[in-house]
Chains A and B, each alone.
Chain A
Amino acid sequence: MPAMFKKDLSLLVLILVVGTVVAIINPRFLSPINISNTANLIGLFGMFSIGMGFVIITGGIELSVGSIFALLGVIFIDLLVTYEMSWPLAVVLIILGGTVMGWLHGFLVTKAKLQPFVVTLCGLLIYRGIARYYTEDGTAGFEFGMNFPALEWVTTGRAFGVIPHSFIVFILLAIVMGIVLHKSVFGRYLFAVGKNEEAARYSGIRTDRIITAAYVISGALCGLSAIYLAMYTRSISPASHGNFYELYAIAAAVLGGCSLRGGEGSVLGVVLGTILLQVLQNLVNLLGIPSSLNFAVIGGVILIGVLADQQLVRRRQARLAKK
C-alpha cells in the first residue's frame, strides 16, 4: 500500500522536525536519561495502542482501556501482596483477565449487535467502579520493602542501563503484530471486514469471529500493559489510574493513519503516532510550557496534523483526477 507508506513517511518527518526543534531549544532533549525515559513511556503507551489500532481497523472503538488498567492493576497488586501468588501465575491471570474482557466486548458487539462505542463506554464506567469498590477507593500498592526482582527486571529494567525493557517488548510486539496485520490471512480478513463487512461475509469470512478476535487482541494487550503500568507506578489509586489512556491510544492510531470508519491503518503508523505523542509530552515538559496545557498542545497538534493530511489527500486526488 504505497499511499499508507507515504503517510507513515510524513509522520516520521513530522517527528524528526518536532524533535529537532525541541533539541535546538533545549539540548537536554537528547540526553541519554531523557531519551531513555521517553522510550519507556513510548513502550508503555505503545503496547495497548497497537490493540486499539486493530479494533479501529474493524470500524470499532475501545473506550474502556484506562478503566481496565485500574481494575486489572489493583487485582494484580492484590494477587502479589495479599495472596502472595507467584508472579508468573499472576501475570498469566491478568493477561487472561484482559482477554476475557476483550472477548466480552467482542461478543456484545457481534452477537448482541450493540454499538462498540456503547459497549466499551459501559466497560469504562463499570470497570472503574468495580476497581474503586474493590479497594474501597483506597490506593493499592506494594508494601514497603517488598521486592520482585525478576518481575521488576522484566518490566522496569533497562538493558545496558538505558534501553527500557518496556520499549524492547513494545518493539517486539509491534514487529509480530505488524506481520499479523499486514502479512497474515487474519490481517487481510481484518481489513476486509473493516472496509465492508457485508462483502467480507459474502466471501465466506466469518466476520463475527474476526471482529471478536480484534477485541480479544486489544484486551490481551491491555492486560499486559496493565502489568507494566502497575509496575511503573508501583501504587494505584483506582479513581485516577489510567484516566484518559484510551484517548492516547485513539490519538496514536488516528495520527498513524487508522480511519475511524474502519478498514485503514498500519502498525508502523500506530508506532509512529505513539512516538509523536510522547515527544509532544516531552516537549511540553522541556520547553517549560505549563503542564496544564499538556492536553491542549497534543489536541492542537493532532488537529493540525489531520487537517494537513486531509489537504494532502485532496491534492493527490485532484492530481489523479487531472490525469
Chain B
Amino acid sequence: MTANAAATGPLLDLIDIGKTYPGVVALSGVNLSVAPGEIIGLVGENGAGKSTLMKILGGVVAPSEGTIRIDGAERAAMSVADATKAGIAFVHQELNLFDNLDVAANVFIGREPRYGGLLQLVDTKALHEKVTPLLRRLGADFGPATPVANLSLAQRQLVEIAKALSLDARLVIMDEPTSSLTASETARLLGVIADLKANNVSVIFISHRLQEVERCADRVMVLRDGKVVGRLERGQIQHDSMIRLMIGRDLKSLYIPPAAPPRETALDLAEVRTTAFPGQTVTLALRAGEILGLAGLVGSGRTELARAIFGIDRRLGGRITLSGQSLEITEPRDAINRGLYLIPEDRKQCGLLLDFSVSENISLANLPAYARATIVQGDAEDRNAERQKTKLNIKVPSVATQTSSLSGGNQQKVVLGKWLSMSPKVIIFDEPTRGIDVGAKGEIYELMRGLADSGVAILMISSDMEEVIGVSDRIAVMHEGRISGLLERGEFSEDRVLQLAVGKSPQEAAAIKMMMGA
C-alpha cells in the first residue's frame, strides 16, 4: 500500500534530542536515524527515557533541545497533527480503543466516510469495504463489525495496527506490543512486522522481551538514564549484550542473600480459586523470612490471585491459612487486621490517594491508632510519617507534601511506609518497581530483604525477568490461572521461567522458539 518506496534518504532523523523536566533530565543527546523499511529495536529499563522519546516523536511533548528531520526537512517542533501527517503512527501499550464501538468505527474514528450532505451520516458500507482488506492483510480472524469489547488483547492490537495502516503510516511505533500476548500471538505479530518491513514501512519496536527484539530488529538502540548507551547492528544483537547495556551491571548483583533460612509457613493457600480462572486452583505455601517471586505472563492470573487473597475480589473457593489460623476475608480490612498487606500494581490508582499528603497516606490504613476519641491527632500522624520518611529514605521536603508531586520511587516508599507503620506478617508486592528509576529500585529490594530478614513473608509478583530472578529466594510461575512450576534458587534461569510461564515443557518451548525464529 505504501507508495513512498521512492524515498531514499532516512525517513526520520533525530539529532541531539534532549528533554529536561524541572529537576530531571529525561533525555540527552539522543541521535537516531530510521531508514524506510527498517526495524529498530528500542530497549532500556523502565525510566530509561523510552516513553519520553516516543512522546517527542508523536508530537505530544516538545524536545528541550535538538532537531527532528522528516524526509530531510527540519522541524523545530512537531505537533500531534504533524506527526500523523508525516506518517508516524503508534500502537500503544495501553491500547487506545473505544470498546463501546466496533472494529471498523475504531479504525476510522474521526475519518469516517460520510454521505447524506449536511446530515453527515456514516457510510457504514464504504467503511467496511475499507477496513476488511486491512484486517485480511493482518490475518485477523474477526470482521469489521465485531464489537471491540469482544476482542482479546492480541486482536485489539491488530485493530490498532490496522488503524496505523489505514493512515498510510510509514513509521509504526510499537510500545511493548507483545507484553500481553501468548507465544503464538507473538509469533503472528512478528509476522505482521516482517510484512510491514516488506512493504517498506519502518517500525520502532520497544520491548522488554529481548528474544523478540533479537528476532526482528535490524538495529537496536539501548537507552539508560536518558542517554544512548549502546547501538547494536544486526550481527551483534544478542540477549546478553542488550541486558548488559540496559542495566549496566551484572544480573547477579541484585540478589541479597537472606540472613537466615526461611522459617515456618506464614501464608498457606489451599486450592484457591479466583474469578479470573474459576476452573483452576492455586496451592502455594509462603514461608516467613523468604521472598517468593511469582512470575508469569500478564493475564496469567497473578494480580487476580493477590486481589482475592487480600479481599478486593471475592474468592470462589479454597482455604487460606495465615500463621496457622484460617483467614476469613470479605474485604481488605479483614486481611489488614491479620497483618496481610498488599502493595498494588497500580500505585497511582490503588496504592495512594494522590491528593492526600504523605502523612495522610501513611496513616490511612491505621487511622484510629492516631486518633483520640475518634478525633485524628495530626501531630501523631506527622511523627510517624517522619519516622517512616527517615527509615525508608523518602525524598520529600515535608510530610505535608501532596504525594502527587513525588517521583514513582518515593511514592512506592510512601505505600510501603503505610504498611510498615503497622505489624506486617505477609506483604504481597505486585510489580513493586514498575515505573521506578534504577536507583530507587535497588533501595526497594534492600527494604524487601530487610523485611524478610525480620521475619515477614514476601510474595513478589513481577513481570520483570531480571527482578524475578535477581530478587527471589524461590520462584513460583503461573500460567493461565494455575501454578505451573516452583523453582528453587539453584534452578533459576530465564529460559526455565519462560517455559513455565507459557505453560510448555522444555521440549515444546524449544520447538516454539524455533518455529518463531524461522
A residues with a Cβ closer than 8 A to B are: 179, 183-186, 188-189, 191-192, 195-196, 198-206, 263
- Across-interface contacts of B349 in A (CB, < 8 A): 196, 198-199
Chain A: minimal CB distance from B486 (Å): 28
Q: Write the chain B residue with the least CB distance to A186.
A: B374
* Contact present for A200 and B353 (CB under 8 Å): yes
* Contact present for A202 and B356 (CB under 8 Å): no
- Across-interface contacts of A192 in B (CB, < 8 A): 353, 356, 364
A199 touching B350 in the complex, CB below 8 Å, given contacts A183-B375, A184-B374, A192-B356: yes
The answer, yes or no, to whether B425 is at the interface (CB within 8 Å) is no
B residues with a Cβ closer than 8 A to A are: 310, 312, 331-333, 335-337, 342, 344, 349-356, 360, 364-365, 367-368, 371, 374-376, 418
A202–B352 CA distance with the chains assembled, in angstroms:
9
A186–B342 CA distance with the chains assembled, in angstroms:
23
- Across-interface contacts of A191 in B (CB, < 8 A): 356
* Contact present for A202 and B376 (CB under 8 Å): no
- Across-interface contacts of A196 in B (CB, < 8 A): 349, 353-354
* Contact present for B353 and A183 (CB under 8 Å): no
A230–B413 CA distance with the chains assembled, in angstroms:
55
Chain B: minimal CB distance from A133 (Å): 40
In the complex, given contacts A192-B353, A201-B331, what are 20 additional A-B residue pairs having Cβ atoms less than 8 angstroms apart?
A184-B371, A185-B374, A186-B374, A189-B367, A192-B356, A195-B353, A196-B349, A196-B353, A198-B349, A199-B350, A202-B312, A202-B332, A202-B344, A202-B351, A203-B418, A204-B335, A204-B337, A204-B365, A205-B364, A263-B355
* Contact present for A183 and B312 (CB under 8 Å): no
Q: Write the chain A residue with the least CB distance to B375.
A: A183
Q: Write the chain A residue with the least CB distance to B348.
A: A199
* Contact present for B356 and A195 (CB under 8 Å): yes
A204 touching B336 in the complex, CB below 8 Å, given contacts A185-B368, A195-B355, A199-B349: yes
Looking at A179, A192, A203, which has the most chain B CB atoms within 10 Å of its CB?
A203
Chain A: minimal CB distance from B303 (Å): 12
- Across-interface contacts of B344 in A (CB, < 8 A): 202
A103–B172 CA distance with the chains assembled, in angstroms:
54
A203–B371 CA distance with the chains assembled, in angstroms:
17
Q: Sorted from nearest, which 4 A-B pairs have the closest CB atoms?
A: A204-B336, A203-B365, A204-B333, A203-B364
Sampled A-B contacts (27; CB under 8 Å): A179-B375, A183-B375, A184-B375, A185-B367, A185-B368, A185-B376, A188-B367, A188-B376, A192-B364, A195-B356, A196-B349, A196-B353, A198-B350, A199-B350, A200-B353, A200-B364, A201-B312, A201-B331, A202-B344, A202-B350, A202-B351, A203-B353, A203-B364, A204-B336, A204-B337, A205-B333, A263-B355
Chain A: minimal CB distance from B430 (Å): 11
A206–B337 CA distance with the chains assembled, in angstroms:
12
Interface residues of chain A: helix, strand, loop or mixed (majority): helix
- Across-interface contacts of A201 in B (CB, < 8 A): 312, 331-332
- Across-interface contacts of B354 in A (CB, < 8 A): 196
A195–B337 CA distance with the chains assembled, in angstroms:
24
Q: Of the candidates B331, B360, B376, which one forms a contact with A183 in the assembled complex, judged by CB atoms under 8 Å apart? A: B376
A-B contact count, CB below 8 Å? 64
- Across-interface contacts of A186 in B (CB, < 8 A): 374
* Contact present for B351 and A204 (CB under 8 Å): no
Chain B: minimal CB distance from A183 (Å): 5
* Contact present for B333 and A206 (CB under 8 Å): yes
- Across-interface contacts of A183 in B (CB, < 8 A): 375-376
Q: Of the candidates A198, A199, A206, which one forms a contact with B331 in the assembled complex, judged by CB atoms under 8 Å apart? A: A206
A206–B336 CA distance with the chains assembled, in angstroms:
12
- Across-interface contacts of B352 in A (CB, < 8 A): 199
A206–B312 CA distance with the chains assembled, in angstroms:
11
- Across-interface contacts of B353 in A (CB, < 8 A): 192, 195-196, 199-200, 203
- Across-interface contacts of A195 in B (CB, < 8 A): 353, 355-356
A200–B337 CA distance with the chains assembled, in angstroms:
15
* Contact present for B376 and A204 (CB under 8 Å): no
Q: Write the chain A residue with the least CB distance to B371.
A: A185
Q: Write the chain B residue with the least CB distance to A198.
A: B350
- Across-interface contacts of B364 in A (CB, < 8 A): 188, 192, 200, 203, 205
- Across-interface contacts of A263 in B (CB, < 8 A): 355
Q: Write the chain A residue with the least CB distance to B357.
A: A1
A203–B335 CA distance with the chains assembled, in angstroms:
11
* Contact present for B360 and A188 (CB under 8 Å): yes
- Across-interface contacts of B360 in A (CB, < 8 A): 188
Looking at B312, B365, B367, which has the most chain A CB atoms within 10 Å of its CB?
B367
Q: Write the chain A residue with the least CB distance to B310.
A: A202
Q: Write the chain B residue with the least CB distance to A193.
A: B353
Chain B: minimal CB distance from A1 (Å): 10
A303–B337 CA distance with the chains assembled, in angstroms:
47
Chain A: minimal CB distance from B62 (Å): 15
A189–B367 CA distance with the chains assembled, in angstroms:
9
A204–B332 CA distance with the chains assembled, in angstroms:
5
Q: Write the chain A residue with the least CB distance to B355.
A: A195
A75–B58 CA distance with the chains assembled, in angstroms:
65
- Across-interface contacts of A200 in B (CB, < 8 A): 353, 364
Q: Write the chain B residue with the least CB distance to A201.
A: B332
- Across-interface contacts of A189 in B (CB, < 8 A): 367
A38–B351 CA distance with the chains assembled, in angstroms:
47
Q: Write the chain A residue with the least CB distance to B330.
A: A206
Chain A: minimal CB distance from B48 (Å): 26
- Across-interface contacts of B418 in A (CB, < 8 A): 203
- Across-interface contacts of B337 in A (CB, < 8 A): 204
- Across-interface contacts of A204 in B (CB, < 8 A): 332-333, 335-337, 365
A133–B168 CA distance with the chains assembled, in angstroms:
67
Q: Write the chain A residue with the least CB distance to B333.
A: A204
Chain B: minimal CB distance from A192 (Å): 6
Q: Write the chain A residue with the least CB distance to B346.
A: A198
